[in-house]
Amino acid sequence: MTTALTLDGSSRYHLDAACRALDGARLSTRGAVVEEDSDTLGQTPCFLCAATAGTAWYVTEQTIAELYEMIGPAKYHTSVDPGTGRLAVDGLTIPAHGDAPRAVARFGDTVRRHPDGGYRVHPAVGHASTP
């Protein structure tokens, strides 16, 4: 059993009450944090405070906040939603590192951490890599 911190309705667990991703999720959803002794099987670990040494992550609406916190100084990427005509978050802008240029990781893309400490974007099928 593990003492895990979760937000109501979330399948993601955190192990550190001071986790930046947990704090960001709490602010954006205005949700209450629940601390419980639970079996974490079937739950997804937080990238920042609970995950084992991962090297690749899919960019989704559920993971974008944690990736934003993990890949500093990443920025949210926005584009105009054709249905509403308003700006909407559609991914992250990953800063340049070493010989890798700045890149945009959109929902569905994979972000990989490389041994040099930088992050590279691997576009999903049908996505073009955008600087």
- Same domain, residue pair 58 and 48: no
- Shared domain for 11 and 39, answered yes or no, is yes
- Which of 27, 52, 77 finishes a domain? 52
Identify whether the C-beta of residue 12 lies closer than 8 Å to the C-beta of residue 44.
Answer: yes
> Domain span at residue 17?
1-52
Same domain, 45 and 98: no
Closest CA to 92 of 116, 114, 119, 117: 119
Cβ contacts of 20-27, under 8 Å, gap ≥ 24: 20/48, 20/69, 21/46, 21/47, 21/48, 21/49, 21/65, 21/66, 21/69, 21/70, 22/46, 22/49, 24/65, 24/68, 24/69, 25/65
Does 60 share its domain with 79?
yes
Determine the pLDDT at residue 21: 73
Residue 131 has pLDDT above 60, yes or no: no
- Note whether 42 and 60 are same-domain residues: no
User: Based on the domain organization, do 128 and 91 belong to the same domain?
Assistant: yes
Q: Inform me whether the pLDDT recorded for 1 exceeds 70.
A: no
Q: How many domains does the chain have?
A: 2
End-to-end CA distance of the chain: 44
Pair (30, 69) in one structural domain = no
Q: What angle do CA 75, 78, 79 make, to 5 degrees?
A: 155
Q: What is the CA radius of gyration of the chain?
A: 16
Residue bearing tokens 């667990």 = 13
**Over residues 110-128, mean pLDDT:** 81
Q: What is the pLDDT of residues 20-67, one digit of tens each?
A: 777 766 666 676 777 776 665 567 777 767 665 667 888 998 888 888
State which of 53-57, 78-82, 96-100 shows the largest mean pLDDT. Answer: 78-82
Q: Are residues 69 and 116 in the same domain?
A: yes
